[in-house]
């Protein structure tokens, strides 16, 4: 697998720790817009990653279920080129135990730079919103077995 394919998969791997059942991308939420502004800028360009072929297969293996859409939105810093070092931000929603959890992930140079729980709707488990939980992901990336390189205490 090429390094370019690992960027979006790193995002999907981080969502795995939120007990995924079904994925529902959130692209226009207020929380999402604020997250993008905080980590990129208002001028960030919205792009799409197509989950087809190898990307679809790998993401399904990591999530233990198929991602329900083939087009995943993300944002890229305005002046960034298409290189693997480009800074990107992703806002997705995933079913936790019963309800949606909105998560934001920033990836730069193939590594997770930031994870933020943007909206938590479950009655239990709110501790995942705390920096002590989300900081565990910082600096992590995928290894050759499509697993995060850092241990996450879930």
pTM of structure: 0.75
Q: Which tens digit of pLDDT belongs to each residue from 29-57?
A: 677 888 998 898 777 888 999 999 999 99
Strand pairing report for 111-120 and 100-108: antiparallel
Tens of pLDDT, residue by residue over 70-93, are 888 899 986 656 556 689 999 887
Q: How far is CA 7 from CA 14, 55, 117, in A?
A: 11, 11, 19
Query: For residue range 6-33, what is the model confidence (pLDDT) as tens digits?
Result: 545 555 555 544 433 333 334 456 778 8
């Amino acid at each position: 697998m090429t390094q370019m394919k690992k960027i979006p998969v790193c995002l999907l791997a981080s969502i795995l720790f939120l007990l995924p059942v079904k994925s529902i991308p959130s692209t226009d939420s207020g929380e999402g817009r604020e997250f993008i502004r905080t980590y990129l800028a208002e001028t960030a360009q919205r792009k799409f990653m197509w989950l087809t072929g190898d990307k679809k297969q790998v993401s399904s293996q990591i999530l233990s279920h198929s991602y329900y859409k083939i087009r995943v939105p993300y944002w890229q810093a305005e002046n960034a080129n298409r290189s693997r070092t480009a800074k990107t931000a992703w806002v997705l929603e995933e079913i936790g135990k019963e309800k949606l959890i909105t998560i934001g992930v920033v990836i730069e140079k193939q590594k997770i730079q930031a994870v933020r729980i943007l909206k938590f709707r479950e009655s239990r488990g709110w501790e995942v919103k705390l920096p002590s939980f989300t900081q565990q992901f910082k600096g992590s990336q995928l290894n050759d077995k499509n697993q995060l390189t850092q241990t996450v205490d879930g």
